[in-house]
Amino acid sequence: MYKFLAGMLVMAALGAYFTKPTKDDAYEEIAHLTRVNLEQQKLHEAQGVRAAALLACRLSPQSCIELLISGLDLDYQDRHLYAKIDLEGFGMSANCYGLYTKFYCPNGLVKE
């Protein structure tokens, strides 16, 4: 029984080690989340500069996403079995953990 449990723990640890997300995966996840957030914004509710920026992002989403990501401070830490990223920018921050090819942000974006 204990050998089976130990073997399962070793297999889970090996799986975590070999499927840990990389820094490039972190940037792709941030780009995806930014794209989804931009698509959910309602243009008719925005006013002034925010409406103009949202319209520009709708016209050229890839360049807008690259611009938004360049304003973020991303700190990637490799912790052997998992990855940790700290995001800061635009008055918000997030702490996310990468495990088994996915990133999980327990508290989401938090205003600083």
Selected residue with higher pLDDT from 5 and 64: 5
Residue of 36, 32, 27 whose CA lies nearest to 98: 27
Answer yes or no: pTM beyond 0.85: no
Rounded CA separation 105/107 (Å): 6
For residue 4, name the pLDDT band (cuts at 50, 70, 90). Answer: very high
For residue 92, name the pLDDT band (cuts at 50, 70, 90). Answer: confident
For residue 69, name the pLDDT band (cuts at 50, 70, 90). Answer: confident
